[in-house]
Structure 1
Amino acid sequence: MTMLDTLVERNQDFASHHFLKDLPLMPTLRAMVIGCVDPRVDPTLLLGLKLGEAVVIRNVGGRITPGTLQAIGMLRRIAQGEGGNPAGEFHLIVLQHTQCGIAHLEGNPDMLASYFGIGKEGLKAKAVTDPHAAVAVDVAALKANPVLPGNWLVSGLVYDVTTGLVEVVVPPAPLRHAPER
């Protein structure tokens, strides 16, 4: 049996025992997790998410990049087209982790600069080798983005691959505070 045969067999089991018909397009927890592609760090498993509860975007390092922002914008427009209200309460969760492979790219500044859409001189500010600092940097990038609804919540977590636990590094807060009257 090939690896693909195994996956198709698992899908048949899923379709028979776990498939939920007619799930809404809008995630029921009104949450979006931005996490890393590392196979040790599957946000659905380590956060106990069920099918349909959250949108999960995964990229190298779980970072906020121009591509991540573009995907968030596209998903927001899709939700609007489906009659969803992504401007209401919604929670963005930046999830990064210890021992991330992105740290191995530190010696490839051209590749990292291109990935982040910045000049090489700006790489130090991205805290590529420190997941706790990187989460804070990425939450700040989301908060600075004027296109995202200010009432959306954002938080930052770091998953420890040696313990299996997440740590809240940046507690939930609105992207922007409402102006005082």
Structure 2
Amino acid sequence: MDYLDTLMRRNVEFADRGFNPTLRMMPTSKSLIIGCVDPRVDPMDILKLAPGEAAIFRNVGGRVTPALSETLQILRTVKHAAGGNSGPDSNLIVLHHTDCGIKHCYCHEPELLAKHMGVKTDELDTLEINDPYKAVALDVAALRAGPAVSGGYTVSGLVYDVATGKVEVVVPPSRL
């Protein structure tokens, strides 16, 4: 049996026993988590999220990139069209992690990484690619400074340690 068959079997089980047709488009916690695509760092698992509790956006490194900024603007439009707004309890959480594979791209394909990050290759050093603690602080600062996120959000920055399974608050929550 190939992997697609396995996935399709799991989907039948989900549809029969786990599907919840009452989930809404807007997350119940009014939270958006920005994280890395690394399968070791799935916010659903490491933060024990329930289905529909948070919206999760994942990209290489969990970084604030031009593509992420565009996505946040689109999500703001979707949210308003669906009747939602960013109240004082809306959360935007940036989640980075130790031992991130983005550092390999930094060493071996810097031009590709620079394009992903929306900077020139000689500007990559300013993005703290090799230090998730500094990088998460930079990304939170970029969100606070940029036009992609309107007021009403509480923004924070976390780092997950892949060796211990623990999450540390690096940038405490604060309102935009």
TM-score in same-fold range (> 0.5): yes
CA distance in 1, matches of 2:141, 2:135: 10
Counterpart CA distance in 2 for 1:86 and 1:110 is: 36
Which has the larger share of helix? 2
Aligned to 2:89: 89
Asked if the contact 1:32–1:93 (Cα under 8 Å) also holds between the matched residues in 2, the reply is yes
- SS in structure 1 of the partner of residue 39 of structure 2: coil
Contact kept? 1:87, 1:149, Cα under 8 Å: no
Shift of 1:109: 2.1
Query: What is the identity, as a one-letter code, of the residue corresponding to 1:103?
Result: K
Which residue identity lines up with residue 126 of structure 1 in the other structure?
A: L
* TM-score when normalising by structure 2: 0.95
* Residue aligned with 1:73, SS: helix
1:38 is aligned to 2:41: no
- The code of the aligned residue for 1:116 comes to M
Q: Give the match's secondary structure for 1:56.
A: strand
The equivalent residue for 1:57 is 57
Paired residue type of 1:50: A
Please give the secondary structure, in 2, of the residue aligned with 1:106. helix
Give the fraction of aligned pairs with identical amino acids, expressed as a percent.
50
Question: Would the alpha carbon gap of residues 129 and 62 (structure 1) be closer, same or farther in structure 2, given more than 3 Å must change?
Answer: same
Distance in structure 2 (CA, Å) of the matches to 1:88 and 1:159: 26
- Code of the residue aligned with 1:46 in structure 2: it is I
- Secondary structure at the aligned position of 1:170 is classed as strand
Amino acid at match of 2:140: V
TM-aligned CA deviation for residue 87 of structure 1: 5.2
One-letter identity of the residue aligned with 1:154:
V
Q: How does 1:1-181 map to 2 (within 5 A)?
A: 1-86=1-86, 88-107=88-107, 108-175=109-176
How big is the shift at 1:22? 2.2
Which has the higher relative contact order, 1 or 2, with Cα contacts under 8 A spaced 6 or more apart? Answer: 2
Q: Distance in 1 between matches of 2:148 and 2:117?
A: 18
- Normalising by the residue count of structure 1, what TM-score does the alignment of the two structures yield? 0.92
Q: Which string of whole-angstrom CA distances, capped at 9 and with x for unpartnered residues, describes residues 136-174 of structure 1?
A: 010000010134222311101111111111111111101
Taking only aligned residues, the RMSD between alpha carbons, in angstroms, comes to: 1.2
- Stretches of structure 1 lacking an aligned partner (at least 5 in a row): 176-181
AA in 1 matched with 2:66: P
Q: Report how many residues are paired.
A: 175
SS, match of residue 19 in structure 1: coil
- Indicate the SS of the match to 2:27: coil
What CA distance in whole angstroms lies between the structure 1 residues aligned with 2:151 and 2:84?
Answer: 17
Using the TM superposition, give the Cα deviation of residue 88 of structure 1 relative to its aligned residue in structure 2, in angstroms: 5.0
Deviations 1:63-118 (A, max 9, x none): 00000111111111111111112355311100010100001112222112111111
Quote the Cα distance in structure 1 between the aligned partners of 2:76 and 2:151.
14
